[in-house]
Every structure is written in C-alpha cells, then in structure tokens.
Amino acid sequence: MNIFLTIALFAFGLGLIIYFAEKLVEGTVGLSLKFGISTFIISVIFIGFDPENLIVGAAGSYESVSGIALGSIIGSAMVASALAFGITAIISPMKFEKAPKQIIIIPNISILLFGLLSLDGELSRVDGLILLVGFIISVYYLIQLNKKGIDIKAHSEVSESLEEAKELSRWKSIVLFTISLLAIIVGSELLVNSSKTIISTLKISDTLFGMTILAFLVSIEEIARELPAAMKGKSEISYGNVAGSILAFFLFNAGIIALIKPIEISSVIVNFYLPLSFITTVIISVFLLRKEVSRLAGALLVALYIIFILYGYL
C-alpha cells in the first residue's frame, strides 16, 4: 500500500475515533439515564472511561498486534498521568482540600494487579476475567465510600455528557450510541491496519509504536480534560481523570481486550514500561497526600513521560 494512502487512512481512522468517542459516551450516558441508573453510578462507572482506547486496543488484540493493545493501556495511562497531569501542574499548580487515602490507593492497586498477572508473559482470558472482577469490586468500593460521605468527583467528560444526555430521548440515545460505536469500530480497524504498514516502513516494533506514537495521538485530549478543571480551581476533577483513567485502562479495558484474545507481554513491558507507570502513579499519590502538585512536581511528571517515550528509541 502506498505510504501516503496509508497515512491518509491512519489519519481518517484517528479522526473518526476522536470525534465519535465523546458522542459514544454521551449516547451511553443517555441510555443509562433513560433506564433509571443514577447519575452518581454513571459518573463512577464512566470515570476515566475512554472508548477510543478500549476499541483501538480491542482491534489491536483481535488483529494480533499486541503492542497496539498494550499501548492503549499503558501508553495511554502515561499520557493521562504523567504528560497531561504534569503539563496541567506546570501551567496551573494544584492544591487539594482533602485527599482521601481510600481513593488514592485504587490506581496503585490496579497497576499492581495488572503487573502481577503479566509476569508469566501473557495476559490470558482468565487474567482478563480477574481484571474485570477487580474493576467491579473497585466500582462497588467507590460507591460505598460515597455513601459514607467521601466525595468522588466525576470525570469532566462525563460531567459534560450528563448535561447533554439529559436532553436526549431514549431513541436518540440508541441511535447516537449505535452510530458512534460503529464509527469507532471502523476507525479502529483503519487505524490498526494502517499502523501495520507504518510499523513495517519505520522498522520499529509494534510495542514501541503502540506505547509512544499511537497512545499519544489517541489520548492527547487528556490535556484538554485536565487543564481547564485545574485552572478553574477544580483540582479534584483533574485528579479524578487520572485515577479514573488508570482504573479503566488497567482493569476494565485490559480485561475486555484480554477476553477478546490473550495478549503477549514482552520482557520490556514487564521490566521497564510497567514499573515506570507504577512509579509515576506512586509519585502522584505522594503529591496528593501532601495536598499539592507544584510546578516542580509537574516538571518531574513530564520528565518521566519523556523517559518513557525515549527509552525504546535510544
């Protein structure tokens, strides 16, 4: 396939994914509201939910391109936690009135569970089921915390979708959900298949491509989600985006992707990418416990992302 046509198909697929991802969340939330599910439950379940990452990862798994599948999990999580959160802190340092330890610990446990299941070099269907059970337990735990009066901030995209979805009828929600889902599936197939040609042309591994280039392109809108909230003094929403993204990527998305087809985990994932992702989350947790993420802390997070990106190219 001509490289220019490949790049055009890649860009078109990416455009479909990014545009319809928000529409899919809106349609899903609309359906949930119409079936009587409470707004709090919707917010918890969809905190950090990024359908573009899930479906791109699922397509990568189905097409046996494990690097793309893992990039949609680990690479995208690093974009949300290190790059987007770091840039947000550099531009608008964040202070937190309270930082419940019960919430902060969840992202760390999510990555640890994923890492432990990856030690044998494969994320099997059984592992995927375990991750999904872990996601369900985490959501139940968050719901119980809310009942005890511990506040949980919704993902900013979900907050917006809640307002927009209230205007939708049940049928409009179904149509929006269906069209958006089909568009993202088509976009993901175009993206994954054109990525194979790009990977071959650039002579790099699918792991490196998925972890760096593709994860960055699919997840860069994280900055647009986290920065406005921090600049408005809503730091909890910015962190909610990070915590929710990690929870969704490492438990829900990874679980679904592994159920579709087991994922091969290379040694570089186990020995470098996962440990660095975990270290990044621990560092953010320390900042949260101090109730402040300064510009210096933001610079450190961005530096960790740069190390994450450059490792495979050096």
Flag whether pLDDT at 116 surpasses 80.
yes
Flag whether pLDDT at 300 surpasses 90.
yes
> 1-47 pLDDT, tens per residue?
577 888 888 889 888 877 887 777 677 777 766 766 655 555 555 55
Among 122-126, 155-159, 181-185, which is the least confidently predicted range?
A: 155-159
Per-residue model confidence (pLDDT) at position 275 = 96
Per-residue model confidence (pLDDT) at position 255 = 94
Mean pLDDT of 132-159: 71
- Locate 11 and state its tokens: 């860009």
Flag whether pLDDT at 156 surpasses 60.
no
Mean pLDDT of 83-96: 86
pTM, full prediction: 0.80
19-to-26, 52, 143, 179, 266 alpha-carbon distances in Å = 12, 9, 31, 12, 32
Determine how many CB atoms are found less than 10 A away from the CB of residue 279.
13
Among 75-79, 103-107, 119-123, which is the least confidently predicted range?
A: 103-107
How far, rounded to the nearest angstrom, does the alpha carbon of residue 214 sit from its chain's CA centroid? Answer: 13
Per-residue model confidence (pLDDT) at position 43 = 52
Per-residue model confidence (pLDDT) at position 298 = 93
Mean pLDDT score of the chain, rounded to an integer?
81
Which domains does the chain carry? Answer: 3-313 (1.20.1420.30)
Per-residue model confidence (pLDDT) at position 233 = 63
Phi (first) and psi of residue 5, to 5 degrees: -65, -40
Handedness of CA 246, 248, 252, 255 (dihedral sign): negative
Which amino acid is located at 255 in the chain? G
> 188-227 pLDDT, tens per residue?
888 888 888 888 887 888 888 888 888 888 777 666 666 6
Per-residue model confidence (pLDDT) at position 118 = 95
Which amino acid is located at 210 in the chain? G
